[in-house]
């Protein structure tokens, strides 16, 4: 028998807030988290801005020995997961920790550690590499370290699908609970890519915005967009079997009702023509949710601020929603945070939950110049009040890996 899956906890650390409530207040206040890069000296780089987590000090969350053994991506995953589990009020008294999973994904996980250790080997020799190099750098460690920190003993996996990683993690967690394999799963993503190696790689790919004005760098759907802005952070949701949640009298934020995943089978970085791969993911999610396209009230778009992504995602939404695309509200909260790569879907899903809880649609901020190819209602610059019953969140990754999830307002039925 299929089980219903609900969201009972939220955790986040982002460029616009070091917890969920701070993040949501920044959404309401239209506070952009993009600013000058401070993590390294950008002399010689074309890129000068990013979405850094503000005021982060690992020693506020970990002791010195623990912090030294954790790549920043794992640190951020743990911070968000601790908040999510605490927010859910799950304890060893009301939940079997052997039936709690951790599906925490990342796109490039330990890139800070890789950069650091490669420099050490070049300057001092390979015999000076840290014995913790691989345990810190490999992509499964955000999930693995979360299980160690929280004592979670259920299934632990990391789905690596570039910028779709966290949305895939949430979708697969939903399916895992739906079919009874786990009672609870912490699902989402973490990323800490803002280092010389990370920025230079995307810069040389010509994927990043070189804008120096922080308010005109990450501008999804704007005709003057020129590339994405790199961000860092983590977003984690607690997904739970409805009956289990009711039994322990949990606060239920929303229900996960749809998930769709597809491949473009087209190109390693360029989306398929007309966004057809993303369109199929959205269509699958709608079919899984057993709703009509017109029932979706709001879409949190992938909306990266690159020329191709925004126009092709627009085309995909039009294909799937048809006439309803003329009235549906679609915004990109990457205008606030920049692009958190493999963590993006986790943060954006948490924002969608808060939007449903508060009946407020996040705007696409810093929008100025209309693009005729991006002619959806992108909720420019100002939040809107509206009750939301169904919300979709999209993620589209390099390699043509697409994922969409649909959340439903939980009304106690």
Is residue 235 located within the same domain as residue 340?
A: no
Is residue 168 among the annotated active site residues?
Answer: no
The pLDDT, as a whole number, for residue 132 is: 95
First to last CA, the chain: 18
What average pLDDT does range 23-38 have in this prediction? 98
Same domain, 241 and 312: no
The H or E element containing residue 391 is strand 390-397
Of 113, 98, 99, 82, residue with least CA distance to 10: 82
> Could you confirm whether 267 is annotated as catalytic?
no
Whether residue 327 is contained in a domain is answered as yes
Instruction: Report the chain's C-alpha Rg in angstroms.
Output: 20
pLDDT score recorded for residue 384: 98
Residue 249: predicted pLDDT: 97
DSSP string, 219-269: -TTBTT--SB-BB-EEEEEEEEEHHHHHHTT----EEEEEEEEEE--S-SS
Tens digits of residue pLDDT in 82-92: 999 999 999 99
The per-residue pLDDT for 331 is: 98
The pLDDT value given to residue 413: 74
Are residues 228 and 308 located together in one domain of the fold?
A: no
With a CB cutoff of 8 Å and minimum separation 6, the contacts of 183 are 95, 96, 99, 100, 177, 240, 241, 244
Q: Given 217, 247, 277, which residue is the final one in a domain?
A: 247
Q: Which of 168, 195, 339, 374 is catalytic?
A: 339
Section 279-305 average pLDDT: 98
Same domain, 274 and 240: no
Average pLDDT over residues 300-314: 96
- Give yes or no for a contact between 319 and 276, defined as CB atoms under 8 angstroms apart: yes
Count of domains forming the chain: 2
Domain assignment present for 77: yes
Domain co-membership, 186 together with 265: no
Please check whether residues 229 and 275 belong to one and the same domain. no
Beta pairing partners, 96: none
Supply the DSSP symbol for 46: S
Query: Is the residue at 413 inside a domain?
Result: no
**Residues 76, 169: one domain?**
yes
Burial 372-389 (b: 16+ CB within 10 A, else e): eebebbbbbeebeeeebe
Say whether both 36 and 173 belong to one domain: yes
52 and 76 share one domain = yes
Catalytic member of 32, 163, 352, 374 = 163
What does the pLDDT read at residue 115? 96
The bridge status of strand 49-50 relative to strand 100-105 is: unpaired
Residue 253 maps to a domain: no
Residue 412: pLDDT over 90:
no
Mean pLDDT of the chain: 97
Q: Is residue 252 part of a domain?
A: no
For residues 164 and 304, membership in a common domain is answered with: no
Provide the CATH number for the domain around residue 167: 3.40.47.10
Q: Is 235 exposed, middle or buried (0-12, 13-18, 19+ CB in 10 A)?
A: buried
Domain that holds residue 237: 5-247
Q: Write the CA distances from 342 to 80, 193, 235, 296, integer angstroms.
A: 14, 10, 10, 25
Q: Is 33 helix (H, G, I), strand (E, B) or coil?
A: coil
Examine the domain organization and report whether 232 and 119 are in the same domain.
Answer: yes
Question: In the annotation, is 118 catalytic?
Answer: no
How far is residue 169's CA from residue 154's CA, in Å, rounded to a whole number?
15
Give the domain-ending residue among 194, 219, 247.
247
DSSP state of 13: E
pLDDT of 1 strictly over 80:
no
Task: Say whether both 310 and 202 belong to one domain.
Answer: no
Domain boundary among 188, 218, 247: 247
């Amino acid at each position: 028998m299929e089980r219903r899956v609900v969201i009972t906890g939220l955790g986040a650390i982002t460029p616009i807030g070091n917890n969920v409530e701070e993040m949501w207040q920044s959404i309401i206040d239209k506070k952009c988290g993009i600013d000058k890069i401070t993590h390294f000296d950008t002399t010689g780089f074309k890129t000068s801005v990013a979405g850094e987590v503000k005021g982060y000090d690992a020693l506020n969350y970990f002791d010195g020995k623990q912090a030294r053994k954790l790549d920043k991506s794992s640190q951020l995953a743990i911070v968000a997961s601790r908040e999510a589990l605490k927010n859910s009020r799950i304890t060893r008294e009301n939940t079997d920790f052997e039936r709690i999973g951790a599906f925490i994904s990342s796109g490039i996980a330990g890139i800070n550690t890789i950069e650091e250790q490669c420099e050490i080997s070049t300057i001092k020799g390979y015999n000076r590499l840290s014995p913790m190099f691989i345990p810190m750098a490999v992509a499964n460690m955000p999930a693995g370290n979360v299980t160690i920190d929280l004592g979670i003993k259920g299934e632990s996996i990391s789905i690596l699908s570039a910028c779709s990683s966290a949305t895939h993690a949430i979708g697969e967690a939903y399916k895992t609970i739906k079919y009874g394999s786990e009672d609870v799963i912490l699902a989402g993503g973490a990323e800490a890519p803002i280092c010389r190696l990370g920025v230079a790689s995307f810069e040389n790919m010509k994927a990043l915005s070189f804008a120096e004005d922080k308010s005109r760098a990450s501008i999804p759907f704007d005709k003057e967009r020129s590339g994405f802005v790199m961000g860092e952070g983590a977003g984690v949701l607690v997904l739970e079997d409805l009956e289990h949640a009711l039994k322990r009298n949990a606060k239920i934020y929303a229900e996960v009702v749809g998930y769709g995943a597809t491949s473009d089978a087209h190109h390693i970085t360029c989306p398929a023509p007309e966004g057809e791969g993303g369109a199929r993911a959205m269509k699958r999610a709608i079919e899984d949710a057993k709703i009509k396209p017109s029932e979706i009230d709001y879409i949190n778009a992938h909306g990266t601020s690159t020329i191709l992504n925004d126009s092709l995602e627009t085309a995909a939404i039009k294909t799937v929603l048809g006439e309803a695309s003329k009235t549906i509200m679609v915004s990109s909260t990457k205008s606030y945070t920049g692009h958190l790569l493999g963590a993006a879907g986790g943060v954006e899903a948490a924002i969608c939950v808060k939007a449903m809880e508060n009946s407020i649609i996040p705007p696409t901020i810093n929008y100025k110049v209309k693009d005729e190819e991006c002619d959806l209602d992108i909720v420019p610059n100002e939040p809107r009040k509206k009750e939301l019953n169904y919300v979709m969140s999209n993620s589209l990754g390099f390699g043509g890996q697409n994922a969409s999830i649909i959340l439903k307002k939980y009304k106690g039925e």
